[in-house]
Amino acid sequence: MNILRGYSTKVALSGMAIGAIFAATACNSATSTPAAPTAAPSQSLTQAVNQVVESGFPGVQAVIDGPGGHRVLTAGVGDLQTGAPFAADAQVRIGSNTKTFVTTVILQLVAEGKVELDAPIERYLPDVVQGNGNDGNRITVRQLMQHTSGIPDYLGHGTVEGGMAAEGSQLDPTADAIRWRQYEPADLVRRAMTMPPNYEPGARAEYTNTNYIVLGMLIDKVTGQSPAAEITRRIIEPLGLRATYFPAPGDTGIRDPHPSGYHQIDGKRVDFTITDTSWAGAAGAMISTGADVNRFFIALLDGKLLPAAQLAEMQRTVPFDREPGAGYGLGLIHRPVPCGKEVWGHGGSIPGFEVRTGVAADGTAVTVTSNQLPTSRAAFDAVEKVFEIAICGG
């Protein structure tokens, strides 16, 4: 199982809308909903959206914003029981896209002189990243944001030098004992600290969710406010992202309108819409819409959220272990697409939803959401094809 990730060529086998809102009947045919006069979607894009459902997903939505206007294409259903469509302004769990929001706040704190990128995390969080060879004195804030810290994943993913993560160390959020449990960030970090480091700090990059739980704790310590409060004050409210939020403690649902999210467990499709995502926290608990996610990434890359110096730091990349040819910056992924466009974004997978995001240099922003994680390489590739056609102008 591989969840709370950015884009990956490794398949997960376990996991205000802008303009007019549309109504459509549930069907397996792509529907396009323009908010303003826009070019019609290409036949190839329409076919690709339909192919996602044919590959085994309940439903899919592609939200496209930019020079061509605002478009929403959907196929399949948002709810298998009722047959309701995937609403144009559907709110969904955006998984690891949360990491880009967290990084943006920290880089704002860097610009304000409150955090130093290359300072050891021990300076801000004494004795938090300590144990079994993990040492916060040797791990910088930058390394946490870029997944080069070497600290282990509290979910138990990945390998340590010399072997696999400790037996029984995996935290499985699809298990009932975890699905309904309330976690504090410190609980998750302490769990990670029971395992040895994956590698020496700075030796390589390996995507690890613990990094962002620690970064959420850093925000709390430096500002005196939770990551949710700072993300709301610094990003959500200034950009008017009215459908974007961080679930409150104990909030297990998703605000309406929302599709149902499904997850394959032992070959059976389980409704995973209602769940406590405190285990994901600052690494992946946020909820948003495709239009809001596009607006956030457009604003970020336009320099509306960060000074030029901090945005440049965000775009300094290292090879991304989850996708050949891609680079991971500070909570931001530079990813290749067939048409050769310069594309930055992130992506997120969490039981019930997969959300792929990106903004091209020409201003085209795309968010593709499926209400189930892919269960095969063919399914993964089907969603990726939608993203690539859409971002390339299809």
Q: What is residue 255's three-state secondary structure?
A: coil
Q: Distance between CA atoms of 240 and 232, rounded to whole angstroms?
A: 10
Q: In terms of C-beta density within 10 A (0-12 exposed, 13-18 middle, 19 or more buried), how is residue 154 classed?
A: buried
Alpha helices in 131-233 (DSSP H): 141-145, 176-179, 185-192, 210-223, 227-231
Q: Return the structure tokens found at 126.
A: 């004494």
User: In 209-335, where do the E strands start and end?
Assistant: 262-265, 268-271, 287-288, 318-319, 327-328, 333-335
Look at the alpha carbons of 141, 146, 147, 149 in this order and tell me if their dihedral is positive or negative: negative
Report the DSSP pairing between strands 130-131 and 27-32.
unpaired
Instruction: Give buried/exposed letters for 368-382 (b at 16+ CB in 10 A, else e).
Output: bbbbbbbbeeebbbb
Q: What is residue 316's three-state secondary structure?
A: coil
Give the residue numbers annotated as catalytic, written as ranges: 96
Backbone angles phi, psi at 318, to 5 degrees: -125, 160
Q: Distance between CA atoms of 228 and 223, rounded to whole angstroms?
A: 12
Backbone angles phi, psi at 117, to 5 degrees: -60, -40
- Cα radius of gyration rounded to whole Å, the chain: 20
Q: Return the structure tokens found at 325.
A: 């040819």
Polymer length in residues for the chain: 394
Distance spanning both ends of the chain, measured CA to CA:
32
Nearest CA to 205 out of 335, 317, 344 is that of: 317
Q: Distance between CA atoms of 123 and 311, rounded to whole angstroms?
A: 24
